[in-house]
Structure 1
Amino acid sequence: MNWEQIPLGPLQTNCYLLVDSNQSCLIVDPGEEGKKLIAHIQKRKLKPQAIVLTHAHFDHIGAIDDVRDHYQIPVYVHEKEAKWLIDPTLNGSQFFMMGPIKMRPAEHFLKGEGQVTVGNFSFEVYETPGHSPGSVSLYFKEAGLVVAGDALFQGSIGRTDLPGGNHEQLIKSIHDKLLVLPEETQVLSGHGGITTIGEEMDTNPFLNGF
């Protein structure tokens, strides 16, 4: 499996395309610029199967309706953030200057943890709350990568000052669910560059003591 990182929107939120050998793909966190994303997918001749959200903050959801309508594909989000797509207060967009963002509800809800199969793709869902109540990380064991959303960044961690954020809970999520993965596991974060579990264990100032 291959993957591509595509920063989108004013906050340069990382959208990820996870691509199998048949050119089928999962779209993770299409945050903005739907037309740009669709054009890229068409240029690459990819076949999207679904949109999966690590969480439903405004900067991760802005292109959902454009993309799912174009490809007629479903959206997956954690059940704790089921209402966030339609509520600017919950998704945080009303607190920023770009105006309220509302999407239609998701078709499917992630409940708890465990293996999930979406089209040709199978992966483990880990609940990693703290940045938001329904934040999840998507672990692709065979590919050696985890899509961590805004839980863990290169040299940093997610903010916890938006509704539902909890710093202590986030640190626990990172420690219990992410740092236990093999150190060579690539971490695909919601913003910024790619890192590894081992690099963050060794150098992340927010994780000292683990």
Structure 2
Amino acid sequence: MLGFVSLPVTAFEQNATLIWCKNTQEAAWVDPGGSAETLWNEVANRGLDLRQILLTHGHLDHVGAARELADRADIPIVGPAEADRFWLEQLPMQARMFGTAEVAAFLPDRWLREGDRVRVGEQILDVYECPGHTPGHVVFHHAPSQLALVGDVLFAGSIGRTDFPMGNHSDLLRSIVTKLWPLGAETRFIPGHGPMSTFGEERRHNPFVSDRAIAAQRG
């Protein structure tokens, strides 16, 4: 099965999530936004074998430590979808905009697309393209665990911002309703910020994408 732990990093309290195969101890960091040394030590302290970095999207608070960790472990960076190339190429600009330490631009070793699969040890995660917060945002889903890593698409009680360049509110709502809800009400999700929730809970109570809210928007 799949083990996981999330560590809030950066001033934005972004959830960097370490996932690993409990059978092989092979691991991946999902959205390592900063505090590279802390993230590196977490892997070592758990006796895991870090094999890759997985990115949901190209915003600085989700990728800030990716290159450093990948170079240190000599492992690939995987994701997001290529529509987020703009954000990764503009990482120095993002760092200046948010007043953080300089972060060099980089591109992943592998872009992801809808229907791709990512293997972590013996565990397989399905990839869904979920544009809206950014155009190339992806979500990772581990069906056996009923667990999704959704980045900044959906939060407990809220949804991702769409006021950044290339954001699109209608696309975000469509991604949530057509890509996430079909994964099942019992599916737990780890958001990019804040606590975990389930898709069922958000369909009942999220003021932006509950079934009632979506019905009202459709008139």
TM-score band by shorter chain is: over 0.9
Indicate the residue corresponding to 1:209 in structure 2. Answer: 214
Matched positions, count: 208
- Gaps in structure 2 of 5+ consecutive residues: none
2:32 matched to 1:23?
no
**Pair 19,73 (structure 1): closer, same or farther in 2 beyond 3 Å:** same
- Note the 1:61-210 alignment, pairs <5 A: 61-77=63-79, 78-88=81-91, 92-98=94-100, 100-111=102-113, 113-120=114-121, 121-207=123-209, 208-209=213-214
Separation in 1, partners of 2:117, 2:182? 20
2:58 matched to 1:53?
no
Greater per-residue helix proportion: 2
Deviation of 1:165 (Å): 0.5
Would you say the 8 A contact 2:85–2:107 is kept in 1?
yes
Matched residue SS, 2:5: strand
- TM-score w.r.t. the length of structure 1 is 0.93
Separation in 1, partners of 2:112, 2:21? 22
Across the aligned residues of Structure 1 and Structure 2, the Cα RMSD in angstroms comes to 1.6
Would you say the 8 A contact 1:50–1:118 is kept in 2?
no
When structure 1 is superposed on structure 2, of 196-205 and 93-102 the one drifting more is 93-102
Would you say the 8 A contact 1:62–1:103 is kept in 2?
no
Aligned-pair identity in percent equals 35
Deviation of 1:88 (Å): 3.0
Matched residue SS, 1:84: helix
